[in-house]
Amino acid sequence: MLIGKWVVILEPNLKFSMKLTNHQYQIQGLSILDICEQYTAPLYLYDGNKMVEQIDLLRSAYQDLPLKIKFAAKALTNISVLKLFQKQGIGLDVVSLQEVHLGLLAGFLPQDIQFTPSGVSFAEIQAVVDMGVMINLDSLPALEKFGEVYGSSVPVSLRINPHVMAGGNAKISVGHIDSKFGISIAQLPQILAVVKDKQLTIKGLHVHTGSDIFAGEVFMQVANVMFKAAKHFKNLQFIDFGGGFKVAYKKGDKTTDMHALAKNMHSAYAQFCEDYGKKVDIYIEPGKFLVSEAGYFLVKTNVVKQTPNATFVGVDSGLNHLIRPMFYDAYHDMFNASNPEGDLQTYNIVGYICETDTFGNQRQLNEVREGDIICIKNAGAYGFMMSSNYNSRFRPAEVLVYNGKSHLIRQHETMDDILRNQILVDVTEADLVKV
């Protein structure tokens, strides 16, 4: 597809910012091969301008609603990415004390952060309260304890489980009746009893139904559960509808239509406010929507191996760096950045980990040669964040491109990182000493 001098190599419904021009793949005008040369593959490459574009898209879709965006930090907590988001004036959704620390370090104010823990210790909840951050409590026992310790002195919010099954797969569907998350909507009478007994100040209600949900009807079904429940709480300042908006991972993927959703949300919200007698803020917590498509994972080809049944492209990476294909059967589109004009051939793209770690089977790529850089798309969300040191391999570097400039935001690991916190004890000798 030709747009001016740009050749957009992707399907029209996929709005990636990677472009092919002058026989080179570029991101914000920078050649990705040059970036690989400078920072060395394997590396995660993020397009900061694309992230900002996604925020703008949400803001324009929801312009008639009092919207606050809270980036689901767990998708990508590199502090330079968090800083970029902080500069855009959005807030954060965090799930651990450590993520609160990262958020504060990146310049977020405590009041811009929501803590949505799942079954954490009460000590962790107290530590976060001490930092001035709003908590979405997710169990009746935690609510009782919170009431005993803080009574009405610290406002709090409640995570509701709406009993709605939705999400890209079972592992990321979390709003159904069998899920561990939230306080069941069926337990509303018990919630109200504790709130009354402990004189709790409930400032918000929260819900997160799952990830990779494209159907606007699901979000509206959940919204209606929440608006109905909200009428039982007199002092609400916000309702937090969580994240889960679906982005395209491949051609033909259905994605959440944000403008249509915002429109439906607007009428349900207007009706709610009329019944409720005042306005509340609307929060959303997008993770994938803000960073998935902005991220590319660049890996180098170690070997091209022909077997009787297939041609394998073995790269200098594996499930230790990007686990989504193996863990969720996730499909990540990819291309050969080094040979854009090579003949198309069919390959299985695999990692170097000593168990099956397939990035993609039966993929059509321009001819792959040893040393070629393979670019894996949709790597911004839950890519680096779910990486590990399995096989005692180093985790990759991260590079953030913004306004045509590249910045190293995490260096490659070294042997020091593998050894950090390990203690060499020769236990056979230790026993001898004791004897």
Kindly list the residues in this chain that would bind ligand LLP in the complex (CB under 6 A).
Answer: 72, 75, 93, 116, 172, 208, 211, 242-245, 285-289, 324, 328, 381-382
The residue number whose beta carbon is nearest to ligand LLP equals 287
What is the C-alpha separation between 307 and 354, in angstroms, rounded?
18
E strands within 67-194? 67-72, 91-94, 113-115, 134-137, 156-161, 183-184
| Residue number with CB closer to ligand LLP (246 or 363) | 246
Q: Which structure tokens are listed for 285?
A: 């917590």
CB of 119 to ligand LLP, least distance (A): 13
Cα 261 to its chain centre, rounded Å, is 20
| Residue number with CB closer to ligand LLP (35 or 218) | 218
CB of 171 to ligand LLP, least distance (A): 7
CB of 293 to ligand LLP, least distance (A): 12
What is the C-alpha separation between 30 and 36, in angstroms, rounded?
11
User: Residue 129 region, left (φ>0) first, then alpha (ψ -120 to 50), else beta?
Assistant: alpha
CB of 288 to ligand LLP, least distance (A): 4
Please tell me what DSSP assigns to residue 259. Answer: H
Of 64, 80, 56, 47, the residue nearest 292 (C-alpha): 47
CB of 411 to ligand LLP, least distance (A): 24
| Residue number with CB closer to ligand LLP (208 or 393) | 208
Name 157's bridge partners.
136, 204
Please tell me what DSSP assigns to residue 186. Answer: G
- Please, what is the angle between helix 122-130 and helix 140-150, to 10°? 50
What is the C-alpha separation between 136 and 239, in angstroms, rounded?
11
CB of 93 to ligand LLP, least distance (A): 5
H/E stretch holding 56? helix 48-61
CB of 114 to ligand LLP, least distance (A): 9
Q: Which structure tokens are listed for 232?
A: 């039982």
| Residue number with CB closer to ligand LLP (248 or 373) | 248
| Residue number with CB closer to ligand LLP (347 or 359) | 359
With H, G, I as helix, E, B as strand and everything else as coil, classify residue 334: strand
| Residue number with CB closer to ligand LLP (76 or 202) | 76
CB of 70 to ligand LLP, least distance (A): 8
Q: Is the peptide bond before 340 cis (omega within 30 degrees of 0)?
A: no
Find tokens 């854009």 and name the residue. Answer: 340
| Residue number with CB closer to ligand LLP (300 or 332) | 332
| Residue number with CB closer to ligand LLP (242 or 360) | 242
